Each structure stands twice: as structure tokens, then as C-alpha cells.
Amino acid sequence: MTAVLDKQKVSAVVGLLVLFEITSGFIQGGVAPLLPDLGTEMNISDANLNWVISVQLLTAAVSVPAFGRLGDLYGHRRMLRIALACVAVGSILVVIAPNLPVLLAGRALLGPLAALLPLEIALVRDRLPVELARRAIARLVGALTLGGLLGGVITAGLYQVIGDARLTLLVPAVLAVICVPVSFLAVPETSQLASGKLDLPGVALLSVSMVTLLSGISLLSSVALVGAALVVAGVAGFAGWIVLELRTAEPLVDLRALAGRHVAPFFLCSFVFGIVYFGSQAPDATFLAADRADAGYGFGFTALQISLTALPAAVAAVIGSTLTAVIAGRFGYRPTLITAFLTIAVTFLAQALFHDQLWQLLLFKIPVGLAAGVALGAMPTVIAETADASRTGITTALYNNVKTLGGAVAGAVVAAILAALVTGSESTPTETAYVLVWLMCAVLCVGAAAAAVFARRTETAA
């Protein structure tokens, strides 16, 4: 009877964490469709509107490692509650913002959204046996993916009815506020806390380096000289951070422990995934939106049609991430990850070769979505299991940052490819530019699969 009650309690706790991730995905996925109208309502220029997205990315780069390490030291539940409180306040600020500075302040407070998943992974790994923890992590990743899907579709639909972008954003704000008291209901605190103290110089230098590098990458396509200078400064900052961490008795990140073949290749996989996952979204959308009569390719789709075209991949990703623990439990996590990346590579190669008909693109969306979902579910599990139990928070936080960095790099690289290959004096990219982007994604995925093959991993016993 006690075992049944314990199982019910565990299911209830995981259910609460799933709610937090659905909310996280909803908030992150809901703002993008509203950006143009939000800019119109608040009289914000397109250039400044980019900062609405960028400021959250930058604060996430700062908050994720700090929240992860503080969770290891003082409790992941405690930091989870603080993160949720920040998100709730930020969401409300976004709704009531009278001007751009207040709007950006609200978006900055949404940065800890990226810290929720690493903190939750640390909680389930601390409290659950291996097999149950793996299933819980898969559910959390699936919930985040599902939330992003629901956020984009529901928010766009609500806006059509309400007609006011900020009033529409009141819906995710209410969800964020509800999550704060819910986090006090049944979530247990971490039982294994790390000893030591927070490496403040390490946090500061890593944060400044990430912000500098991401800012530089975002500026490369518009202010190339400034962007390049910031990129160089960011890389130099990372080099200095590595030296600092290697010389610190209680470092923020134990780089020596992460440098071996048991974990480093999986971080490389995460970086590649960030490039492929984030880097393919914008070109896919602009390809579908292009007028074939003018560009020689495309389908002239509206925003709603583009969203519906992406729907099969999003649904497949939710299914794939949810089934990760079952698939990997049967075949092993490393073979599963290798197969997922090879599947994505084959799909992008096929898309590069065949993209004239809509049915071809829709056909490719399903396998790439499933494989991406499986990869999303497998990578944090593999990386979390390589870490010492007392450092799960910071290790999974670092995974999140590496994936985010990959996405930022993708934005700059894809923008450069599409800007370099244009039709005559027009600014419209050529079909060859899109083919090169898809081929790049395919090659990178083959490289990620090779890195996973190179990794040395022993499956953890359940």
C-alpha cells in the first residue's frame, strides 16, 4: 500500500514539473507570432523589436549557470521557486509595459525560464531511481516541446479574436503566476546538496563572455565590424574563463570532469543540435513564404499556412521526446542518439534534393520531428548521468547554454549564407542558398553522430 502511495506521490510531483515546462514552452513559443503586431501597437522599430527576443536570450545565458550552481548548493526546489517568481513578474511587466524599456525589463526577467529544465532534471535525478528519472526527463522535454507548440497556435488564435497583442499575452502571464503557488504544494527539496560556495568570478566571467559573444553574433549581419569585435572579445573571455576554472579550487564547472570521452562528445552533439534546430526554422519559413513567380521557388504561404506546415514536425517532436525513455531503454542512449542524428541528416539531405512540391516537405517533417524529439529527450539524460549527483544542476545548465550558443551561431551563419547568395540586385536569397543551409545541417548532424560514436559511455543500471 505504501509503495502505491509513494508512486502516486511521485506521479503528482512529476505532473507539477510537467505543468511548469508546458508553461515555459507556452511563454517562449507564444511571443514570436505577435512580434510584428506588438511593435505596431507600441511604435517599436523592427531593429529594436529584435531586442525583445535577444534580451531574454542574453539573460538566460547569465541566469542558467548561476541558477544551476545555486541549486546544487542551496536546493534546486528553492531556486525553481525563485525562477518561477521572476518569470511571473516578468510576464506581468510585459503585459502592462507602457514603453520599450519596461517591456525589455519584463523580457529580461523571463531569462530564468531556461533554468527551469536543468533544475527539474536535478530534482528528479535526486529523488527517483534511474529508470523513473529517465522517464520523467523525457516527459519534461516533451512537455516543453508541447508547450511551445500550444503557445504558438493558441496565442495566434487568441490574437485573431482579441485583436490586442499585449492583452493576448495576459494568458501566458496568468499561467506563470499560477505556477508560483503551485510550486509550494508537493515538490520535495534536493536531498544531496553540494558543499562549497558559489564561484562568483566564474559566474561573472562566463556570463559576460556569453553575453558578449551572443551580442556579437546577433550584430554580425547588421553592424559587421562591431559584431566581429564582440565575437573576438567573447571568445577571449571564454578562454580566460577556462583558465580561471582550471585554477579555482571550487570552480563553477569542473572542466576536467567534463573533458573526457564520456561527456565532451555529447556537449558537441548539443552544440550541433542547437545550430540545426534553431538554424533551420527561419529559412524554412522564408522558403515557404517566397513567391515562386518572383524567386523561382516557394509557395507564397501566409504566416498561418507556414505554422500549419510546421505542425506535423512539432507534433512528431512531442511524440519523439515522450518516447525517448522507452526507445533508449531498449536500444541504449548512445545508439538512440546516433540514430536520431543520422535520421535528421538524411532528412535534410532529402530536403536539399527534393523541395519543389509541398507534399515532399510535409513528408520530411515527420521523421525529422520524431528524430529531433528523441534527440532532445536523450541529450539532457545522457549529460545528467555523467555528472556527480551534487553537480547535476550546473552540468545540465551548461548543456542548455551550449545548445543556446549553437542556436545563436546558427542565426549568424544562416543569415550570412542567405545574404551572400541573392538574385541579382535583389535581396531575395537564391534557391541555392537554401540548399546550402540544408546541406550544412545534414553534414553537421553526421558529425554529431560521429561524435556520439566516439563517446565512451556505459549505460547506467536502472
- Give pLDDT < 50 ranges for the chain: 1-5, 461-462
194 within a domain of the structure (yes/no): no
Could you tell me if 348 and 223 lie in one domain? no
Q: Are residues 331 and 425 in the same domain?
A: yes
Q: Are 412 and 230 in contact (CB under 8 A)?
A: no
CA distance 123 to 25: 19
Same domain? For 204 and 302 the reply is no
Domain that holds residue 238: 199-251
CATH of the domain at 288: 1.20.1250.20
Please check whether residues 312 and 269 belong to one and the same domain: yes
Q: What's the pLDDT score for residue 125?
A: 82
Residues 244 and 351 in one domain: no
Tell me how far apart the alpha carbons of residues 364 and 349 are, in angstroms, rounded to a whole number. Answer: 10
Extract the C-alpha cell encoding 452.
556520439
Query: Which residue has cell 503528482?
Result: 12
Residues paired with residue 429 on neighbouring β-strands, in sequence order: 422
Q: How many domains is the chain built from?
A: 3
Residue where one domain finishes, among candidates 184, 207, 242: 184
- What's the pLDDT score for residue 194? 74
Same domain, yes or no: 119 and 179: yes
Instruction: State whether 233 and 341 are in the same domain.
Output: no
Pull the grid cell for residue 63: 541566469
166 and 295 share a domain? Answer: no
Q: Do both 348 and 334 map to the same domain?
A: yes
Residue 356, Cβ neighbours under 10 Å: how many?
A: 9
Q: Which residues contact 397 (CB under 8 A, 6 or more apart)?
A: 64, 65, 67, 68, 69, 115, 118
225 and 323 in one domain? no
| Chain segment 288-308, per-residue pLDDT in tens | 888 888 888 988 887 667 777
